[in-house]
C-alpha cells in the first residue's frame, strides 16, 4: 500500500507540474522542425500557422527547415529533441505513414517517437491529362487505354513517392495499363505532360493548380473523398471506385514524453488559428483543406486509419521496401 501511495503521489505531482508548465507555456521561442526546403508548400503552410501562433503567444515560433533523406533527416532531429514542449515536428504523410512501409529500416519510429498534436490540413491529388488526350473523365481514360493498352504514359514524381505509389494504384484499381514514368520531382513530371511526352500526370492539387488555371492540363479526377473547392466540377475517384481515398496531409506532432497539458494547449491554440477565415483561405490556395478542429485522440485515430489504408496500397501495388 505504501508503494502504491508513493506511485500515486508521484503521478499526481507530475500531473500538477505538467499543468503548471502549460499555464506558463510558452515562456521562450518554440521550434517547428520541417523536412521540406524553404518555399515549398509545406514550408509556406507551416509558416502561416506558426505566424498565427507567434502573435497569439507573444513568442516566436521558429520554422527550422531540415530537408533531405526523404524526410528522414528532419524526422530524426525532431524525434531526438527534448520533450519539453518547445520542439515539434511539422510532418507529412510520407514521414509518418509511408516511410515505414517503403524502407526496410528507419532511424526513427513514428508510432514510438511521436505523439499527435494537431492535424493542419489534407492535400488531395489530382489526375490530369495533356490537352491532346480526348478523355474528359476516368471512364473515358480507361476506354482509351483499353483500345491500346500501354500506349498512354503516366508521369509521377518517383516510384516510392506519395504520387508515384498512387499512380501505380490507379492501374490496379481501374485495370488500366498506363506506362509508369518516374521523374526526379514534380516539376519535370508536369512539364513533360504539358509537352505531350507523357499523357497523364498525378500530383498534388497545389502543384497542379497553376497548370489547370492556365489551361495547360485538363483535370479529370481528384483522389479525396469529397470534391475539392475550386475544382467542384471534377469528380472524385471514390465516385467511381468507392473507398479510393488517398490524400496527403500536414500534421504537428511532438516528441514522446512531451507533457500532456502542453500538448492539449498547443492543440487548442493551433485549432484556433486554423479556424480563422484568412488562414483557411490561404491554406486552400496552397492546396490544403482544413476539415475543422480535432483533439489529439482524434488525430491519433486518423493516423491509425491511415496506416491501415497505406499498408493496403503498398500490398496492392506489390511494392517491396528497400
In the chain, where are the structural domains located?
2-123+247-316, 124-240
CA distance 56 to 71: 29
CA 118 to chain centre: 12
Q: Which pairs with CB-CB distance under 8 Å and at least 24 residues apart come from 174-178? A: 174/138, 174/142, 174/241, 175/142, 176/141, 176/142, 176/145, 176/146, 176/149, 176/152, 177/145, 177/149, 177/150, 178/145, 178/150, 178/152, 178/153, 178/154
Interior angle at CA 136, CA 132 and CA 142, nearest 5: 95
CA 198 to chain centre: 26
Give, in order, the Cα–Cα distances in Å from 206 to each of 41, 44, 142. 7, 12, 25
Q: Which residues contact 20 (CB under 8 A, 6 or more apart)?
A: none
* Per-position DSSP letters for 134-185, written without gaps between them: ---SHHHHHHHHHHSTT-SEEEES-TTSHHHHHHHHHHHHH---PEEEE-SS
Nearest Cα to 100, choosing from 65, 125, 77, 70? 70
pLDDT at 315: 94
pLDDT at 13: 47
Nearest Cα to 311, choosing from 301, 321, 297? 321
| pTM listed for this prediction | 0.87
Strands in the chain per DSSP E: 30-34, 61-65, 87-92, 114-130, 153-156, 179-182, 200-204, 217-222, 247-255
Q: Which residues contact 205 (CB under 8 A, 6 or more apart)?
A: 123, 124, 125, 126, 222, 228, 231, 287
CA distance 236 to 172: 17
CA distance 18 to 304: 27
**In the block, which residue shows the cell 506558463?**
24
Give the total residue count for the chain.
Answer: 322
Residues 104, 321 contacting (CB under 8 angstroms): yes
CA distance 293 to 220: 30
Q: Which residues contact 291 (CB under 8 A, 6 or more apart)?
A: 119, 121, 122
Residues of the chain short of pLDDT 70, as ranges, are 1-21
Helix (H, G, I), strand (E, B) or coil at 18: helix
Q: Please state which CATH number belongs to domain 2-123+247-316.
A: 3.40.190.150
Q: What is the pLDDT of residues 186-236, one digit of tens each?
A: 899 999 999 999 999 999 888 898 999 999 999 999 999 888 888 999 999
Q: What is the pLDDT of residues 116-141, one digit of tens each?
A: 999 999 999 999 999 999 999 999 99
Give the fold, CATH level 3, of 124-240: D-Maltodextrin-Binding Protein; domain 2 (3.40.190)
H helices of 175-248, in order, are 186-195, 205-213, 237-240
pLDDT at 261: 98
pLDDT at 100: 94
pLDDT at 6: 55
CA distance 220 to 12: 57
pLDDT at 96: 96
Amino acid at each position: 500500500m505504501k508503494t502504491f501511495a508513493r506511485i500515486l503521489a508521484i503521478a499526481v505531482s507530475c500531473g500538477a507540474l505538467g499543468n503548471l508548465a502549460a499555464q506558463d507555456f510558452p515562456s521562450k521561442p518554440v521550434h517547428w522542425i520541417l523536412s521540406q526546403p524553404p518555399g515549398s508548400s509545406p514550408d509556406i503552410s507551416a509558416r502561416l500557422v506558426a505566424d498565427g501562433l507567434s502573435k497569439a503567444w507573444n513568442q516566436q515560433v521558429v520554422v527550422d527547415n531540415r530537408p533531405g533523406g526523404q524526410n528522414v533527416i528532419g524526422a530524426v532531429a525532431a524525434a531526438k529533441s527534448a520533450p519539453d514542449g518547445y520542439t515539434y515536428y511539422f510532418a507529412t504523410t510520407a514521414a509518418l505513414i509511408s516511410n515505414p512501409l517503403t524502407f526496410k529500416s528507419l532511424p526513427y519510429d513514428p508510432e514510438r517517437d511521436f505523439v499527435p498534436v494537431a492535424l493542419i490540413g489534407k492535400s488531395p491529388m489530382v489526375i490530369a491529362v495533356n490537352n491532346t488526350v480526348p478523355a474528359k473523365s476516368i471512364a473515358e481514360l480507361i476506354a482509351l487505354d483499353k483500345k491500346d493498352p500501354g500506349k498512354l504514359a503516366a508521369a509521377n514524381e518517383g516510384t516510392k513517392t506519395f504520387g508515384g505509389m498512387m499512380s501505380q494504384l490507379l492501374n490496379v484499381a481501374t485495370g488500366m495499363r498506363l506506362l509508369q514514368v518516374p521523374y526526379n520531382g514534380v516539376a519535370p513530371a508536369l512539364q513533360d505532360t504539358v509537352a505531350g511526352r507523357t499523357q497523364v500526370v498525378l500530383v498534388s492539387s497545389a502543384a497542379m493548380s497553376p497548370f489547370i488555371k492556365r489551361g495547360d492540363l485538363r483535370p479529370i479526377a481528384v483522389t479525396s473523398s469529397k470534391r475539392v473547392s475550386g475544382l467542384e466540377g471534377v469528380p472524385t475517384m471514390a465516385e467511381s471506385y468507392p473507398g479510393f481515398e488517398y490524400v496527403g496531409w500536414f500534421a504537428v506532432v511532438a516528441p514522446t514524453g512531451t507533457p500532456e497539458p502542453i500538448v492539449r494547449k498547443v492543440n487548442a491554440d493551433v485549432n484556433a488559428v486554423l479556424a480563422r477565415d484568412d488562414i483557411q483561405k490561404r491554406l486552400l490556395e496552397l492546396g490544403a483543406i482544413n476539415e475543422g478542429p480535432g483533439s489529439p485522440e482524434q488525430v491519433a485515430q486518423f493516423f491509425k486509419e491511415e496506416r491501415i489504408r497505406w499498408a493496403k496500397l503498398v500490398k496492392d501495388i506489390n511494392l517491396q521496401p528497400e
